[in-house]
Amino acid sequence: MVDIRLLVDSKNHLGEGPLWDVEEQRLYWIDSSAAEIWTCKEDGSDVRLHYVPSHIGSMALREKGGAVLALANGFSLYEFKTQRLTHIGDPEADEPENRLNDGKVDRRGRFVAGYMSYDHDRQDANRGQRPVRNSALYRLDPDLTIHRLDSGIKCSNGPCWSPDNKTFYFCDSYDDKMYAYDYDIETGNVSNKRLFLSNADYPGTFDGSTVDSEGYIWNAHVFGGRIIRYAPDGRIDREIEFPVRNLTSVMFGGKDLDIMYVTSMGRPMKGVPQKEASAGGLFAVYGLGVKGLPEPRFGG
């Protein structure tokens, strides 16, 4: 039986990016617009908080210690004890209205993250009022070089890989679409982009994703109040309804990688009801009967 629990009543403004680290046996997640990094043990205890100087879209832990961050002004390295930042680069520095958003690490230690426009935040409930700036998807290699993988993206979300490393999944939340690409694990390059899913029949839109050990894709439907598991052929396999509407991302964790951690949004959105007391909290889902995959660390 599936059991959904509010694990940490964090009241995040924009909770995102749950990240289970198998080495530390700890969960990390972020409050994007509050510029905070949160962490706790498997059961939600020992909550700790770290601060960064600007909007944070995502993070990954490093093999060398600390983290790599996707911040509003590009990629940076971060030391937890000193809160020291080392800026790497901002490939969209000429677009001040764009900021880095969701990102994850492939199984060769590369960090893949894409941008979104602040216009998306302003128009979540009022789409079509004005054009949203296009942005792109990038790969940060362990040698700290940055490479563009795709362009024409409005709101980057949900990067994740199939267990065999051959398929890369990625969402453009503003367009309500999830794409699949062929992925070359040797080079980190993508090709053969195709539409994997379109969100025509469900409330909300695609947000953060993860892939389980069976190769099924789990996605948080922000504004839709549910987590959906998709088969590798795009078929809906399972739906789990939540007590809050604005879910943002998912990740398997725990010592057996069988707990699903789910972040949520607590900030009010124009035109989107937000009345749940637990909105913005970190949730844990038990009893799913499937396991996730270990999340790699950034190689740089």
Residues with a catalytic annotation lie at: 207
User: Can you list the pairs that 273-277 forms with residues at least 24 positions away whose Cβ atoms lie under 8 Å?
Assistant: 273/245, 274/245, 274/246, 276/243, 276/244, 276/245
Q: Would you say 134 is a known binding-site residue?
A: no
Q: Would you say 16 is a known binding-site residue?
A: yes
**Can you read off the two tokens belonging to residue 73?**
């002004």
Express the helix, strand and coil content of the chain in percent, nearest 5 each. Answer: 5, 55, 45
DSSP state of 290: -
Count, residues in the chain: 300
Which residue from 146, 147, 199 is spatially nearest to 177, judged by alpha carbons? 199
Question: What CA–CA distance (Å, rounded) separates 150 from 224?
Answer: 27
* Phi, psi (deg, nearest 5) at residue 211: -115, 135
Q: Would you say 207 is a known binding-site residue?
A: yes
Q: Residue positions in the annotated binding site? A: 16, 99, 101, 119, 157, 207
Q: Residue positions in the annotated binding site for a divalent metal cation? A: 16, 157, 207
Q: Residue positions in the annotated binding site for substrate? A: 99, 101, 119
